């Protein structure tokens, strides 16, 4: 306390001059009967409105922020997904149909109606991504066919955009990563989807050997997107169905690890993520053999992807896929 200051206790006015006592009595009445009567200190803040009104203001502000940053972007995305784009493509649509028909057997086997819906998704997917070329000249056919591989895998899903990956990298041929000095035909990381164009084309040119790097890497991309990207109720259902695949697939995976002869490529024994991706390759390129050899596992993938490649139109439930008019 600075020298010269004097403390006067409000409860003790003995010996205080009358004019000072009058002031003390006034102050005391304020703290005993006024808004500070229940305060432990004099520093309690005073509000213009009751505290419950301020609480409602805070809730309203949080709701507005939620609408701005979550609700409106979601609505814009849904409008984009529902907006038909094929009518505005003109001659591009003709080329896209030709390329997909020539190089994607899955697309070629669809009915005309489903081909149009498939192409609509291809264009929307392609427009949502940045395609970066490495030691490869820019080619308009490349993003169309790469997008076709992604849509083939997700055609039975309502959420098919793989939003977690804004960038897809295309490398001319196989490549080596500094992290392990291994040679890759493709890989998926948080930085994007990487695919060797040479091996991508080889995968679709032989559509019966159950080796397809495009489908393989898109299978990994779906796993990344579903677990690391934003989720809605459809994605949560996908995750639950994926758990069923793990339960059904674990005995098969363990048998592969022990060296058992199997329909799946040996690379499936590397780890369970690769088991998933190799299973997807076989699911699309040898569906009848997969179904007959491992009916339980095959049905799990049908349930996960909401499609059966042995069916003419592939999709099991068009409503669940968001493909109904």
pLDDT in tens, 216-236: 999 999 999 988 877 666 677
Q: What's the chain's average pLDDT?
A: 84
Residues 55 and 184 placed together within one structural domain of the fold: no
What's the number of domains the chain is made of?
Answer: 3
Q: Range of 75's domain? A: 50-83
Per-residue CA distances from 109 to 10, 21, 102, 152 (Å):
94, 100, 11, 12
Residues 71 and 2 placed together within one structural domain of the fold: no
Give which of 282, 275, 277, 244 is closest to 257, Cα–Cα.
Answer: 275
Other Cβ atoms within 10 Å of 46 Cβ, number? 6
pTM of the model: 0.75
pLDDT digits (tens, 9 = 90+) for 23-42: 545 545 544 455 544 555 44
Residue 7 pLDDT > 50: no
Token output for 284: 């699309």
Q: Which helix (H) or strand (E) holds 171?
A: strand 167-171
122 neighbors 156 (Cβ within 8 angstroms): no
Residues 170 and 309 placed together within one structural domain of the fold: yes
Q: What percent of the chain clears pLDDT 90, i.e. is strictly above it? A: 61
pLDDT on residue 262:
87
Residues 31 and 56 placed together within one structural domain of the fold: no
CA 102 remoteness from chain centre: 30
pLDDT range class, residue 50, cuts 50, 70, 90: confident
pLDDT on residue 24:
47
CA 76 remoteness from chain centre: 16
305 neighbors 150 (Cβ within 8 angstroms): no
Residues 63 and 104 placed together within one structural domain of the fold: no
- The residue whose two tokens read 């349930």 is 303
Most confident of 4-8, 242-246, 273-277: 273-277
Residues 259 and 159 placed together within one structural domain of the fold: yes
Phi/psi zone of residue 48: left (φ > 0), alpha (ψ -120 to 50 degrees), beta? alpha
pLDDT on residue 33:
52
Residues 118 and 34 placed together within one structural domain of the fold: no
Residues 306 and 257 placed together within one structural domain of the fold: yes
Last residue of a domain, one of 63, 83, 103: 83
Q: What is the C-alpha to C-alpha distance for residues 165 and 195, in angstroms, rounded to an integer?
A: 13
Residues 40 and 99 placed together within one structural domain of the fold: no
Residues 41 and 54 placed together within one structural domain of the fold: no
- The residue whose two tokens read 């898109």 is 218
Residues 227 and 165 placed together within one structural domain of the fold: yes
The DSSP code for 46 is -
215 neighbors 152 (Cβ within 8 angstroms): yes
Give which of 315, 285, 280, 274 is closest to 298, Cα–Cα.
Answer: 280
Of residues 88 and 56, more confidently modeled: 88
User: Cα angle vertex 190, ends 123, 236, to 5°?
Assistant: 70
- What is the CATH number for 268? 3.40.390.10
pLDDT digits (tens, 9 = 90+) for 151-189: 999 999 999 999 999 999 999 999 999 888 899 999 999
Give every CB contact of residue 47 below 8 A, 6+ residues apart in sequence: 54
213 neighbors 219 (Cβ within 8 angstroms): no
Token output for 11: 């409860």
User: Cα angle vertex 137, ends 135, 141, to 5°?
Assistant: 125
pLDDT on residue 34:
52
Other Cβ atoms within 10 Å of 223 Cβ, number? 15
Residues 183 and 310 placed together within one structural domain of the fold: yes
């Amino acid at each position: 306390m600075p020298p010269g200051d004097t403390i006067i206790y409000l409860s003790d006015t003995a010996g205080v001059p009358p004019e000072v006592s009058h002031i003390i009595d006034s102050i005391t009445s304020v703290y005993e009967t006024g808004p500070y009567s229940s305060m432990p200190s004099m520093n309690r803040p005073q509000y213009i409105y009751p505290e419950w009104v301020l609480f409602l203001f805070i809730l309203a502000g949080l709701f507005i922020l939620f609408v701005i940053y979550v609700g409106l972007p979601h609505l814009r995305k849904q409008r984009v997904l529902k907006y038909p784009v094929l009518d505005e493509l003109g001659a591009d649509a003709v080329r896209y149909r030709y390329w997909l028909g020539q190089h994607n057997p899955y697309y070629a086997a669809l009915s005309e109606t489903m081909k149009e819906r498939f192409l609509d998704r291809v264009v929307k997917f392609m427009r949502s991504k940045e395609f970066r070329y490495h030691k490869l000249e820019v080619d308009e056919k490349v993003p169309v066919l790469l997008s076709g591989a992604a849509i083939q895998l997700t055609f039975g899903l309502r959420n098919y955009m793989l939003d977690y990956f804004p960038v897809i990298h295309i490398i001319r041929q196989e490549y080596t990563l500094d992290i392990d000095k291994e040679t890759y035909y493709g890989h998926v990381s948080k930085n994007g989807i990487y695919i060797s164009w040479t091996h991508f084309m080889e995968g679709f040119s032989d559509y019966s050997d159950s080796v397809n790097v495009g489908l393989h890497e898109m299978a990994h991309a779906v796993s990344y997107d579903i677990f690391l990207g934003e989720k809605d109720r459809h994605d949560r259902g996908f995750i639950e169905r994926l758990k069923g695949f793990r339960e059904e697939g674990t005995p098969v995976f363990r048998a592969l690890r022990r060296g058992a002869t199997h329909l799946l490529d040996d690379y499936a024994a590397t780890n369970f993520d690769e088991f998933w991706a190799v299973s997807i390759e076989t699911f699309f390129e040898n569906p009848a053999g997969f179904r007959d050899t491992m009916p339980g596992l095959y049905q799990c993938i049908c349930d996960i992807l909401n499609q059966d490649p042995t069916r003419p139109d592939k999709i099991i439930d068009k409503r669940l896929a968001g493909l109904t008019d």
